[in-house]
Structure 1
Amino acid sequence: MLHSLIVMLKISLFIVAFAILPSAWAARPMVTDDARLTDAQACQTESWMHLGRQRNELWSLPACNPGGNFELTVGGALARTSGQMDSGALVVQGKTLFRPLTTNNYGMGLAAGYTTAPGNGQSGATYFYIPTSLSLADDRIFLHTNLGAIRSREDRETRLIWGIGSEIQTTERLYAIAESYGQDKGSAFVQLGLRYWIVPNHIQVDTTWGSQLGHIRDERWLSIGLRLITPPFF
């Protein structure tokens, strides 16, 4: 009986924790993923608005790490193009680490999943990538790289996906980020941004500006995000 009550309490806390959160691959605001996981036995939600010239998107990606070395993310987005609602997006991803990231050292892992893009007529795709991270200057600087592949369900075409990014701590709570990412076909994307811990390791806000090389004016966007991390409760 006591065990059942404890299990029910944990489930209730989980529901409450995410009921109060507003509607990753990577830790916001980066697209390039890092070799880190959500805190062991805890959950987080990354939510953000992606504001473009033609389409606005509202994303929410809840993730949990119940066992310590496996993070499961299930979430998606709502999209609005030229004032009209589009079909949303779906993301389901699992991630684990081969080598945890430590201070002044490197970490490496593996992520794989299924995703659909926002917008009408978009097909789904399966993907995987290897995130690698390097810590420098006692964790004041991080460098991240991603390398993997994505396969479209509709045209059955496999493409290389890549990313390279950096985080630089500018104050005790403020970080600057810069990254570039893309596929082996088409122009690369670039993004610059800031993240700030309102409550260290629990509440973070962020903002970015980004675009696609060769289409800076037409493809530019702004994002504003919120990241919430629960205490361990599994």
Structure 2
Amino acid sequence: MMKLILTSCSLVLLLCLSHSAHAARPLVTDDARLTNAHSCQLESWVRAYEGGREMWALPACNFGENFEVTLGGGVYRNQDENYRTEDWIVQFKTLFKPLETNGWGWGLAAGHVKHTDIQPGPNQLGNTYFYVPVSFSLRDDDVIVHLNMGMLRDKQASELKASMGLGAEFKLGGPFKGIAEVFGDNSQNPFYQLGVRYSLVPEVFQVDGTLGQQVNGDSESRWLSIGLRWTP
């Protein structure tokens, strides 16, 4: 039962995962932007739950002008149950209309998630997904709103699910930005989180933190995350 609960939560968080260079950590909802052309970035974070902890690293590279590839993974450990699981993700993303100041943009992302320790071998448990990221810039980028709509195939349950994400980033003053969002799929209550992003080196290095929980969830669904993003 513990494994099923943790796998379900991990899928919801993974399949809406944000890999963009601008919305980025700590948002889960993706945006209509890419890592800079012919360059790479790294997003890494720790997410702590009651009795457990996740650690993630997701490098992403834009090999051309409009094609971003993300390849990385994470590890979850539950100290109380002496339980450990791994997740690996590969994602591809392109844009049809890049986001511009006081405008809007949209694109397409698709990927695959594997839980290698749950079902090893050629038939590893995995989920294939796609979503459309749409972003809107307001008040000269003081507020940027992101909307994701997509589908995912739950291989374990042999069913299709609709996924969604709605998030916003807004300037707080100086190097600080705030974030707020809700995300999930149609099989359970959504998740929400609030957080702050701080730029140590503008457009190069940032740190962030969030508090989140499942809607109507108990204390076990609550988390605290601390992360960083490096765009050399």
Structure-2-length-normalised TM-score: 0.85
Name the counterpart of 1:43.
40
Q: How far apart are residue 218 of structure 1 and its match? A: 2.6
Change (3 A) 1:214 1:119: farther
Find the partner of 1:151 among 146, 150, 153: 153
Residue 64 in 1 paired to residue 61 in 2? Answer: yes
Any unmatched runs of 5+ in structure 2? 1-16
1:111-161 alpha-carbon deviations (Å, 9 max, x no partner): 000013698569310000000000001011000000000002222210000
Change (3 A) 1:118 1:204: farther
Name the counterpart of 2:143.
141
- Aligned pairs for 1:152-167 (under 5 A) are 152-167=154-169
What amino acid does structure 1 have at the position aligned with 2:125?
A: S
Change (3 A) 1:202 1:118: farther
1:70-117 alpha-carbon deviations (Å, 9 max, x no partner): 110000001111253512111100000000000000010000000136
Find the partner of 2:98 among 100, 119, 131: 100
Worse-matched range after superposition: 86-95 or 110-119: 110-119
Q: How far apart are residue 217 of structure 1 and its match? A: 2.2
Q: Is the 8 A contact 2:118 2:125 kept in 1?
A: no
Distance in 1 (alpha carbons) for counterparts of 2:205 and 2:83: 30
- SS of alignment partner, residue 33 of structure 1: coil
Name the counterpart of 2:84.
86
Q: How far apart are residue 216 of structure 1 and its match? A: 4.4
Name the counterpart of 2:28.
31
- SS of alignment partner, residue 201 of structure 1: coil
Change (3 A) 1:187 1:31: same
Name the counterpart of 1:130.
132
Name the counterpart of 2:207.
205
CA RMSD across the alignment:
1.7
Residue 73 in 1 paired to residue 109 in 2? Answer: no
Any unmatched runs of 5+ in structure 1? 1-23
Q: How far apart are residue 39 of structure 1 and its match? A: 1.2
What amino acid does structure 2 have at the position aligned with 1:36?
A: R
Runs ≥4 residues deviating over 6 A: none
Percent identity, please: 45
Name the counterpart of 1:219.
221
Q: Is the 8 A contact 1:176 1:193 kept in 2?
A: yes
1:205-230 alpha-carbon deviations (Å, 9 max, x no partner): 00000000111423100000010002
Distance in 2 (alpha carbons) for counterparts of 1:38 and 1:100: 12
1:170-198 alpha-carbon deviations (Å, 9 max, x no partner): 11321100000111121010000011110
Name the counterpart of 1:20.
none
Structure-1-length-normalised TM-score: 0.84
Name the counterpart of 1:6.
none
Q: Is the 8 A contact 1:79 1:118 kept in 2?
A: no
Paired residues, number: 207
What amino acid does structure 2 have at the position aligned with 1:189?
A: F
What amino acid does structure 1 have at the position aligned with 2:37?
A: A
- SS of alignment partner, residue 173 of structure 2: coil
